[in-house]
Structure 1
Amino acid sequence: MKQKWRVYDIRTKIYTFTVRTVDSQLAKYFSDVLKNHYTQKMKGLTVENRIIPQKMISEIFSLSPVITKSNEGYWRSHMSLDEYENRLFSNAVKKYNYFTGEQIEENFPLYTRLQFLNRHPIVCRYKNISLLGDKLNLQIATDEKSQELAYFILGTGLGELNSRGSGFCSFRWI
């Protein structure tokens, strides 16, 4: 019987992967697959699942750039700020409606203040092109719908291309 030996390079770097999701089955899948998974370049050691408690959120802020794709390019060259805000909001509502199967109305304010955290657009490489995005800070409104949608955004991301890591958000509680 031939035995294979795995050799690990001493210079191997340690990484922490954070996966946020609203789908508990997906979280379970990652937990099962990544624990003790190894390849030539990586070895999964442990997996920690943590559920963010649903408390009143005062603000959410993006840790990775929020991307909005269009044929015209970066949003500031062809959209007003109101159009950009409407697109962010409607995108979040569409994701929420699709995942929950509900149809919530779009007649409530998600946030009371929007702040851009960058001076210039942030470049993100995607399929041999450069997409431009922004880091945002949103002061969340205190009504129930806004709080529920903000909590949902923490699991799905803000804007588009969330599966590629764009729009990953963190939060502060009240």
Structure 2
Amino acid sequence: MLFELKLTVLLKKSTHHLQMQEPIGNWISQAQLTDPLFKQTHYDKIYKHFVFSNLYPTEKDGIYQQGRIYVLTIRSSIEDTLNRIHQCLKKCRESDYFQLVACEQRTRRLGHITELLTITPAIVTIENQKPWTPEDNIELLIQRLEANAEKKFKSLYPDTLVQAGQTFIQGITIENRKPLATAYKGRKLLGNKLHLLIHEDEYAQKLANVVMGSGLAEKGSILGAGFCLAKYLK
């Protein structure tokens, strides 16, 4: 199961799309401080198990425009997490960038996933916090993606055995010509838009479901990195 919030927002400042993820993450984090449980775990180094999209519709010039209405999606594999975020945003309806106009919550039952496509850049770091770039080994990228998904799966389902050595990624394509720089705390984090082919077995499907609810790779709950759309078996 996947749980989603569809937020309709009024944008208060014109912003480039690669600089928009940080204000969205800051708004959600600020709102979460109104919840005692979220506030208690705010600085804990644990998976938060939610991820968010950028604004929709996109603009042809890449600049989201002040005064326009956009839609933002927040997802989680945990119903209580999404319920709490929903309540938090109803208490904190505005930030420097956004005014909440409407909010709709829904539950989705995922089908058999054949492909995942990242809508926001997936951020992967390797040795010494260096970002993975297309000049690096593609096998290393796959290993990092697999390991991250397995850790999130183990966090969600601690009593379920991780099947070491069994992959969920059948194939991978990098969609951008050069890495995309997402703004974060005065610096830029390099990421890539990825297209994944997913294995058909049950374990691979479980990991793909986790990725849908928690994001692919790193910074999903902070920057909405690795927010995916899925293609399903017809």
TM category (shorter chain) comes to 0.7 to 0.9
1:32 is matched with which residue? 87
Gaps (5+ residues) in structure 2?
1-11, 13-65
Task: Report whether the alignment pairs 1:16 with 2:71.
Answer: yes
Residues 1:129 and 2:187 aligned together: yes
**Range with greater deviation from structure 2 (109-118 or 67-76):** 67-76
The Cα offsets for residues 38-65 of structure 1, whole Å up to 9 and x where unpaired, read as 3476443332122221211110110011
List runs of 5+ in structure 1 lacking aligned partners. Answer: 1-8
Structure 2 partner of 1:47 = 103
Please tell me the residue identity of whatever aligns with 1:89: E
CA contact (8 A) 1:90 1:106 kept: no
Identity, % of aligned positions? 28
TM-score by length of 1: 0.84
1:37–1:45: 8 Å Cα contact kept in structure 2?
Answer: no
Aligned to 2:131: 74
SS at match of 1:166: coil
Provide TM-score, normalisation by structure 2: 0.64
Computing the radius of gyration from Cα coordinates, the structure with the larger value is 1
1:155 alignment partner AA: G
Q: Distance in 1 between matches of 2:134 and 2:116?
A: 26
Evaluate the alpha carbon distance shift between residue 30 and residue 40 of structure 1 in structure 2; reply closer, same or farther with a 3 A threshold. closer
Moved over 4 A (4+): none
State the match for 1:109 in structure 2.
Answer: 167
Report the count of equivalent residues: 165
Q: 1:40/1:32 Cα in 2 relative to 1: closer, same or farther (>3 Å)?
A: closer
Residue pair 1:36, 1:46 contacting (<8 A) in 2 also: no
Q: Determine which structure has the larger strand proportion and give its number.
A: 2
- CA drift of 1:122 comes to 0.8
* RMSD across aligned positions (CA): 2.3
Is 1:138 aligned with 2:196?
Answer: yes
